[in-house]
C-alpha cells in the first residue's frame, strides 16, 4: 500500500466512526505510526508502507474506531508545554484548565515579588517561606506539577482519592522532575497543615448530563473524575466548606468550573466568607475559573 492509500484509508475510517476531527487525526496517526509528517508525505506520497508498520497502525486505529481517545492511545497529552503521561485512570488534561494554571502562576509570582520587596535584609530572605500549594483532585497531576515547574519557590502537594490517578501523577512528577508530595484521600481527608493556595478542578458535570457526552468522554474517561452528582456542585460545596481550616491567612482558592456554574460558585464562596470572589473567562469567552481569598477576621 502507498502512503497516500493509507492516509485515505485512515481518514475514511475515522470519519465513518463519527470522529469530528478526522482530518487532523489522520495526519496525527500517519506521523505517530508511520513516522511521516505532512511535509514528508508531500515529498513522496507514493512511497510503499512496510507491512509491519501497517499492522501496528491497524491495532491502534481499531481502538480509535471504538472511540478510545487519541491521548490514551498515545499515552501522552501536552499541557502548559509539558508532556504528561495519561491513561484511562485519569482525566485527559484540557486546554481550559491551562487558564487556571496561568492565573495561579501569575498571582504566586506577584506575591513572591511583594514579599521580597518587603523583606530587604538577607537573613529574612534566607528564611523566606515557600508558597504552599495544594492541588485537590489532582488526576494526572497536570495543575500542581505545572505550578511546581513554573514557580520553583513553591511546595506543592497533590491529592486524589484514586490510587490509579496517584500512580499516574507520580509518574508525571518523576518524568518532569517536579518535587511534589502525593497524598491519597477523599478531598481533605489526609491533608495536614495549611496552604497559601488551593487549586482544584473537581468533578463538576451533573450526573445526568454525562450520558449525553461524546463516547470518548462517557465511555473512556473515569466517571469518578467527571461526576459532580445531581447538580454538579457537590465537590465545590464540600471543598468550600472545609477550605478555611486548610488555608493560611489570606489564602486563596482557584477552581475550574463549568460554564454555567459561575453564579452558584460566587454565591457559595461569598456565603462561606471568601472575599474578592471573581469569575474569569476562558479563551472561548466562557466562565471557567473562580477565585477567592479567605481573610480570617
The binding site for substrate comprises: 201-204
Q: According to CB under 6 A, which one of 26, 138, 154, 291 is a site residue for ligand GLN? A: 138
Nearer to ligand GLN, 19 or 165 (CB): 165
Contacts of 273 (CB under 8 A, 6+ apart): 244, 294, 297
Q: Are 138 and 114 in contact (CB under 8 A)?
A: no
**Could you identify the residue written with the cell 500517519?**
30
Pick the closer one to ligand GLN by CB: 164 or 215.
164
Closest CA to 296 of 254, 243, 237: 243
Contact between 151 and ligand GLN per CB under 6 A? no
Q: Which residue is nearest to ligand GLN (CB)?
A: 139
- The answer to whether residue 225 forms part of the interface with ligand GLN (CB under 6 A) is yes
194-213 positions binding ligand GLN, by CB under 6 A? 201-203
Taking residues 82 to 121 in sequence order and writing x for each that binds ligand GLN by CB under 6 A, - otherwise, the string is ---------x-x---x------------------------
Q: Which of 220, 190, 218, 188 is nearest to 202 (CA)?
A: 188
Q: Is 139 in the site for ligand GLN (CB under 6 A)?
A: yes
CA of 284: how far to CAs of 168, 279, 281, in Å? 29, 14, 8
Judged by beta carbon, residue 160 or residue 196, the one nearer ligand GLN is: 160
Q: Which three cell numbers stand for residue 173?
A: 512528577
Residue 124 vs 260, nearer CB to ligand GLN: 260
Q: Nearest approach, Cβ of 126 to ligand GLN (angstroms)?
A: 33
Which DSSP string do the residues of 261-281 spell out, in sequence order?
A: -HHHHHHHHHHTT-EEEEEEE
Q: How far is the CB of 94 from ligand GLN (least distance, A)?
A: 6
- Residue 70, φ and ψ in degrees, nearest 5: -55, -40
Cβ(109)–Cβ(151) below 8 Å: yes
Residues in contact with ligand GLN by CB under 6 A are 91, 93, 97, 137-140, 142-143, 201-203, 225
Amino acid at each position: 500500500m502507498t502512503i497516500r492509500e493509507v492516509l485515505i484509508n485512515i481518514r475514511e475510517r475515522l470519519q465513518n466512526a463519527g470522529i469530528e476531527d478526522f482530518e487532523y487525526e489522520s495526519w496525527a496517526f500517519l506521523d505517530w505510526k508511520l513516522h511521516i509528517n505532512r511535509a514528508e508525505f508531500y515529498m513522496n506520497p507514493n512511497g510503499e508502507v512496510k507491512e509491519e508498520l501497517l499492522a501496528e497502525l491497524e491495532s491502534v486505529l481499531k481502538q480509535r474506531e471504538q472511540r478510545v481517545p487519541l491521548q490514551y492511545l498515545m499515552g501522552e497529552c501536552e499541557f502548559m508545554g509539558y508532556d504528561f503521561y495519561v491513561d484511562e485512570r485519569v482525566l485527559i488534561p484540557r486546554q481550559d484548565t491551562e487558564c487556571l494554571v496561568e492565573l495561579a502562576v501569575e498571582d504566586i509570582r506577584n506575591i513572591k515579588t511583594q514579599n521580597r520587596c518587603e523583606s530587604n535584609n538577607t537573613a529574612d530572605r534566607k528564611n523566606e517561606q515557600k508558597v504552599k500549594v495544594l492541588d485537590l483532585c489532582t488526576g494526572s497531576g497536570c495543575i500542581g506539577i505545572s505550578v511546581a515547574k513554573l514557580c520553583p519557590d513553591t511546595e506543592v502537594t497533590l491529592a486524589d482519592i484514586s490510587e490509579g490517578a496517584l500512580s499516574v501523577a507520580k509518574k508525571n512528577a518523576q518524568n518532569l522532575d517536579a518535587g511534589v508530595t502525593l497524598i491519597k484521600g477523599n478531598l481533605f481527608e489526609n491533608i495536614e497543615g495549611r496552604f497559601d493556595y488551593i487549586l482544584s478542578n473537581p468533578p463538576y458535570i451533573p450526573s445526568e448530563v454525562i450520558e449525553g457526552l461524546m463516547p470518548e468522554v462517557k465511555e473512556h474517561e473515569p466517571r469518578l473524575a467527571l461526576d459532580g452528582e445531581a447538580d454538579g456542585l457537590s465537590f465545590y460545596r464540600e471543598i468550600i466548606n472545609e477550605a478555611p481550616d486548610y488555608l493560611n491567612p489570606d489564602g486563596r482558592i482557584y477552581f475550574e468550573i463549568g460554564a454555567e456554574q459561575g453564579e452558584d460558585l460566587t454565591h457559595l464562596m461569598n456565603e462561606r466568607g471568601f472575599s474578592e470572589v471573581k469569575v474569569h473567562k476562558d479563551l472561548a469567552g466562557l466562565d471557567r475559573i473562580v477565585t477567592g481569598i479567605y481573610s480570617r477576621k
